[in-house]
Chain A
């Protein structure tokens, strides 16, 4: 879902060739996971089919890499609404952590120990991200920050749960 909209958004800056789109996508958004050319061209042809982009002055018989893509009004509207509408706040790890703690308590296993090691793993990740932040570019830092705020939310939950573990154990075992 994000890849087509992001490519469309990049096209809103200026009409581009697939190659340039891939390069810019990888530089800004695909650091961990660069796009393949196949993915770029299949996405662009779907966007063209749906009327979100058109191909400008195609040279007769030219391959896909010679085509220049231009965003349409409908494409621009879609980018605009995607960029202005909030994303549904979605719990990520929360359900896994919750399930592990609750199940541990149900089974009479040491949930506190699990929380401690999970906490340590989260802190380890925080340290890695801090290193990225301190040595990387501003774009790296922004990405790292985003990840860190999510990890911090988990850490808060871990600490709160650890503090309430006895009460929680009583409740689940009843």
Chain B
């Protein structure tokens, strides 16, 4: 039994003696406006480089932006003086597909594992390693790829400078990003969603696919998108594992297995003394930006579609 007196409060005092900080109430409106202005300024500062890149890429490269440019292989001397960038576009597709084959199952799988199963202690170690992996400079991945995947000497897979070696290296870069975002996406789902489904008599898989996957889908696809965007901007890892091919690949390993790549193309063209190649590099940047844009839109559509597909099973 509690003494009732202790919980009695003086209601008169409670309601009548409430201080109002008029100064602060006025000031916080000013803070609110300042915050708004800062947000706008941040947007302008952050957005300016983007607009500048798009603008300058277009202004300098526009005369090459035509169907011919994206549908033909580079020719002429120096190579690229004539023709287009088809090699790089096709090469990027190769690399994205190969990297995704490694990174999607591995990344999404470990993301789900980390958030739904596993033991706390081990999980925190895996999580730490994963975050470490995100922080590894891409050139280090390139060196790793060279020794393990590309080089024909010593132990390793002896894939040569090839799409497979380059793509897998990029896949390793992509994996931890996807893991991180998958785990966060799943963790953000309120427990009540899953409990609700389980309480209806859903199996764990039914609950996972109907509620978890659906709710986490947005986050997972953001992870995939960030991963893909990250790797199509990479050049350092490719220097050691694929380098660059001005033509079409004849396979994905060994001689003839190397592919072109937009980022590498820009990197190489910019280093040439030829003016034409500089213009073409800008035009290629524009194509790359458009690629990014299309990918973003495409991902959103895929997200919706995938949710529908999952509901079916």
A binds B: no
Which residues of B line the A interface, CB within 8 A?
none
